[in-house]
Amino acid sequence: MIASITTLLVGIICIVLGISNMRGNISSLHSYHRHRVSEEDVLPFGRKVGLGTIILGAGVIAFGVLSAVTFYTANDLFISIGTAIMIVCIAIGLVISLSAIIKYNKGLF
């Protein structure tokens, strides 16, 4: 049960950081990425990276909720569904975030 709560907290932190990024506050990103983005691109960059982070966080929260349901029902189907949802959301979130980093930083490094 502690693992489910921890997972939920990690997902909530990801969503809060994503919302902060979407508002144009990209201070949670690595300094390299902050310095490579031009001033006029900060808001679109933050929105795309934030969207990816929110999707990632939502997948982690879904996994945490379904993990808690598995704990109470002893039905392992819920943990399998949660794992699938989390993997898909992490993949989508990473693709969105990395594509924004590549677009606005002219590369990953």
> Looking at the domain assignment, is residue 86 inside a domain?
yes
Domain count, the chain: 1
- Rounded CA-CA distance 108/33 in Å is 9
| Higher per-residue pLDDT: 34 or 61 | 61
35 in any annotated domain: no
* Average pLDDT value over all residues in the chain: 91
Residue 73 lies in a domain: yes
Would the pLDDT of 29 be above 90?
Answer: no
Query: Which domain does 84 fall in, by range?
Result: 2-19+40-105
**65 domain-assigned:** yes
**Residue 34 within any structural domain of the chain:** no
The answer to whether residue 88 is domain-embedded is yes
Mean pLDDT of 38-49: 90
* 83 part of a folded domain: yes
Question: Is the residue at 71 inside a domain?
Answer: yes
- Summarize pLDDT for 55-104 with one digit per residue, the tens: 999 999 999 999 999 988 988 899 999 999 999 999 999 999 999 999 98
**pLDDT at residue 1 above 90?**
no
User: Which pLDDT belongs to residue 100?
Assistant: 92
